[in-house]
Amino acid sequence: MLKLIPATDRYHATPTNWLSSYYLLSYADYNDPDNEHFGPLRAFNDATIQGKGGYPQQPRSEMEIVTLVLDGELQHDDTVGNRGTIKKGDAQRITAGTGLAHAEMNATDTPTHIYQIWLLPSQSGLAPCYEQKDVNLFDASNKLVPIASGQKVLEDLLYINSNSTIYWCNLDADETVRFKTFPIRNTFIYVLEGHIFVNGLDVGTSDQLRATDEHVLEIQATADARFVLLDLPVSPANY
């Protein structure tokens, strides 16, 4: 089953002088009991952080947090001694585990655009840790490129404590990719730009698609497109 959620149905958080953010699932002041999670996917925020703005230090625990930088750069600092700067095309992973506090700041004068993805962990009580990687989000064309995963068949990726995989795809117009899935898996797609057809369903810029009980997803671009795809377990026993 395919469920299309158009861009206009996203929750637009109250803007501040430094942040404009869209929440795709319940988060902060957005509370929808029917949209609290999709499998282990607990939050997906599409955020633009203005220059000299950012998230002050905030406590986190028992969550896997992956950040993809789509434009600009972001400085990370946390209470367990990790510091780093992630730039356009980079990805960052935080295992909050037993607890840490972290800040994410845009120290430049220009906006930074990010996707921040929260996943419920497959194992609790882990020590908090941090990893960042230049994953070249915008380099590979016409294939699904794994960025972060807890599935051990995939190597040299950001490791997440979740039986999930995050893919990125830059798909040229008229090109097609196939994604094989299973009824015990869910698939979540969010389009950064362009238009794609997924098993015949039109999915445009900032639209999201949630697929359940499917076997194959045929994804064709009708215009040059960039999108993120999440492969997620259905059952909490498999998170």
Residues whose CB falls within 8 Å of the CB of residue 9, separated by 6 or more in sequence, listed in order: none
In the chain the domains, ranked by start, together with CATH numbers, are: 2-234 (2.60.120.10)
- Specify the pLDDT at position 148: 96
Per-residue pLDDT tens for 84-112? 999 999 999 999 999 999 999 999 999 99
pLDDT tier at 151 (50, 70, 90 boundaries)?
confident
The predicted structure's pLDDT at residue 152: 73
146 vs 228: CA distance, rounded Å: 10
Mean pLDDT of the chain: 96
Count of CA atoms in the C-beta half-sphere (13 A) of 162: 33
Rounded Cα distance, 140 and 170, in Å: 7
- HSE-CB for 176 with a 13 A CA cutoff: 9
Cα radius of gyration (the chain): 17
Supply angle C-alpha 93, 95, 96, rounded to 5. Answer: 125
Quick check: 153 pLDDT over 70? no
Q: How far apart are CA 136 and CA 140, in angstroms?
A: 8
**H or E element that contains 54:** strand 54-60
Region 200-208: mean pLDDT is 98
